[in-house]
A and B are shown apart, each in its own frame.
Chain A
Amino acid sequence: MLGLNKKDVTLLTFVAVLALFAPFILNPFPEGSAMAQFNAGYPDLMQRFAIFGIFAIGFNLLFGLTGYLSFGHAAFLGIGSYAVVWMYKLLDYNVLWGLPLAVVISGIFALGIGYVSLRRSGIYFSILTLAFAQMMFAISYSDLLGRFVGTTITNGETGLQVYTSDPQILLGANEPNTPHLFGLVMNNSFFLEVGAWQFTFNVGYYFSAIVMLVMFYLSVRIFRSPFGLMLRAIKSNNTRMSYTGLNPRPYTLAVFVISGMYAGLAGGLMAAMDPLAGAERMQWTASGEVVLMTILGGTGTLIGPVLGAGFIKYFENIFSKINDNVLHQWFSFMPDGLEDAMVFIVHPFIGKGWHLTLGILFMLVVIFLPGGLVEGGQRLAAWIRSKRGGAEENTKSSTEPAE
């Protein structure tokens, strides 16, 4: 089906089910309960799951397949956002004009950056991409390009946004004044109340999720193609690659551009959810984040980056929201002195300190599960199978290639 083998169809179905039922899956706790703050089923966060999923899937095509670690992918994210907001300013709020443009422009930039950076490999490649991204960040932040042209292009540190004075030549009389797809407003949500639960179905989330599924499908096809095989060959042995009559350069450049386009699309979708584009999206921390997502989920696996993106975004949003008041509530059953002590101990790991928690989790995963969350899942599955089926099945599963 769809040109995939059975295993991949199962995986695609799994991701599709996760994506389509996310409003239920992410909202397991009833409204108003103590656990409700661990619910992640609100539009803003769900959109980020899908968008950063796309970003990480694209990054994994480059890093997972060829082993080239780009440290400047956030630049394409920013370019995508700027492209979409510019289309809002010039044409109208329909996201359909901006998204293809975001993909094309980030692809062109990726071609240039990739052409130069891919002359080197290893750490030198990483440094070159980082340098390019930081340059792009600096240019956007100071609107250097705009100053040359005489008009604003990135609107500097304020960030690019739509003003009433903008041309918006396609804007119709009854058109909504926020991003939409042919009248389907991204911000709109539909609520479903079931008992104490409230589930939110957001247009923007479903739009992003469907784009994410298409991009996931595309990445499965690339993984299974002769092109994907060549990319894995580059990672495995570049010397043999050259002496087998293959030119590694165009292969790495092609996948760099593809992965840049994925990032551009993700950036475009960010602006499609919220019509703003700022330079901070291009900062190196954002480039680092996608590296973490990919490694945490499982480098070179199909589903790993999606899981990694979800994991990090979940922790970022949920842990950073917990504050001392919440902690006091949690530990209120303890005697006063002990309660304060517990709050004091946990305090550095929550709120603004969630990075500390993330760092510890990342270390644990890298040390104990080098294959990321996917390896964790595989070990768990093998363990359950061995509990149930005995040793025979276990040896069979261990010889299968990891995916």
Chain B
Amino acid sequence: MGILEIKDVGKRFGGLQALSDVNLSVKENSCHAIIGPNGAGKSTLLNCLVGKLIPDSGSVMFDGQSVLGRSPYEINQMGISRVFQTPEIFGDLTVMENMLIPIFAKRDGAFRMHAIESVLAEKQVIEQAEAMLEEMNMADKRHMHAAAMSRGDKRRLEIGMCLSQEPRLLLLDEPTAGMARADTNNTIDLLKEIKEERDITIAIIEHDMHVVFSLADRITVLAQGTPLVEDDPQNIRGNPKVREAYLGESA
């Protein structure tokens, strides 16, 4: 049994069968990559995991509990954090404030009316945030407006915000899309570090083969809304079916 069990999931948008018979099991503390050509249904699948979409059929179990019908915030409180394709951070707030919010959310739950206490009096939360900024090498940027940072730094902050909640499953949606080579490599290094140092399961959707083969322990290839192959990275590379569906004849 994996920590995330996807069974017979199907999703239809009008005349388009975006997903059909998706069966997938993500093992605890592994890094599982989901790859596939454009329109294969990768993002649809991810949205079904985080509560943005509800599949028409099948089940999605996280740690023995169904996530279907729950809102994104409830699913996050279960222990799933998501990193977006374009970094979703609180652009108007400072880096420090960005880091405080997920820690408050982890401590206080989905809603708490603490309207009179001062943020500055929450020493423990601030310490945790400082530590996470330190770990992300962003301590010197803590008073900066988050929107003013580079794409790579925003990504780093977003990953830090997710990690500060100590999730059990981290979902990454093309974490290096639109990044310069140097930023991509930094992000890969960061993710490798996270994988080694933490008890965390990572599921990653990615286009960039370099990223996939540097990180993944296990790869699922999705094509036309259904899993084509699931195997270890070295076997995926040589698999002719994958080449045909995804990498194209020329690869």
Contacts and interface: CB of A to CB of B under 8 A. Distances in A.
Contact of B101 (A235, A244, A250): A244
B101 A229 contact: yes
A244 B165 contact: yes
A254 B113 contact: yes
A246 B88 contact: no
Interface stretch (B30-38, B72-80, B130-138, B228-236): B72-80
Interface in B107-154: 108-122, 143, 145
Contacts of B81: 243
B116 A221 contact: yes
Nearest to A399: B143
24 contacts: A3-B118, A3-B121, A226-B100, A226-B104, A227-B112, A228-B115, A229-B101, A232-B90, A232-B92, A232-B93, A236-B93, A241-B101, A242-B76, A243-B82, A243-B88, A244-B102, A244-B161, A245-B102, A245-B106, A245-B109, A246-B101, A246-B110, A401-B94, A401-B145
A247 interface: yes
B110 A237 contact: no
Interface string A371-403: 000000000000000000000000000010100
A230 to B, nearest CB: 7
Contacts of A236: 90-93
B183 interface: no
A138 interface: no
B119 A244 contact: no
A222 B105 CA distance: 18
Interface in A57-76: none
Contact of A242 (B72, B109, B118): B72
Contact of B120 (A224, A240, A399): A224
Interface of B: 50, 71-73, 76-77, 81-82, 84, 88-94, 97, 100-102, 104-106, 108-122, 143, 145, 161, 165
A225 interface: yes
A227 B118 CA distance: 9
A57 B77 CA distance: 34
Interface size class of A (residues with CB under 8 A): 20 to 34
Nearest to B87: A240
Q: Most chain-B CB neighbours within 10 Å: which of A233, A242, A245, A250?
A: A245
A245 B82 contact: no
Contact of B117 (A226, A233, A242, A244): A226
Given A239-B88, A240-B88, A245-B77, A227 B113 contact: yes
Contacts of A235: 92
Contacts of B111: 246-247, 250-251
Contacts of A243: 50, 72-73, 76, 81-82, 84, 88
A325 interface: no
Contacts of A229: 93, 97, 100-101, 104, 119
A242 B89 CA distance: 12
A5 interface: yes
Contacts of B116: 3, 221-222, 225
Contacts of A3: 116, 118, 121
A247 B71 contact: yes
A227 B101 contact: no
Contact of B104 (A5, A222, A230, A240): A230
Contacts of A224: 118-120
A241 B84 CA distance: 13
Contacts of B88: 237, 239-240, 243
Contacts of A250: 110-111
Contacts of B122: 226
Contacts of A233: 90, 93, 97, 101
Contacts of B165: 244-245
Given A230-B101, A243-B72, A225 B90 contact: no
A237 B84 CA distance: 13
A83 B111 CA distance: 31
Given A5-B120, A226-B117, A246-B101, A237 B91 contact: yes
A245 B81 CA distance: 9
Shortest 10 CB-CB distances between A and B: which pairs? Answer: A245-B76, A227-B115, A236-B90, A247-B110, A236-B92, A250-B111, A240-B88, A245-B105, A242-B72, A245-B77
Contact of B115 (A4, A225, A232, A399): A225
Contacts of A240: 88-90, 161
B161 A225 contact: no
A64 to B, nearest CB: 12
Nearest to A237: B90
A247 B73 contact: yes
Contacts of B77: 245
A60 to B, nearest CB: 15
Given A225-B114, A225-B118, A233-B101, A246 B73 contact: yes
Contacts of B105: 244-246
Contacts of A222: 115-116
Contacts of A239: 84, 88
Nearest to A246: B105
A236 B90 CA distance: 5
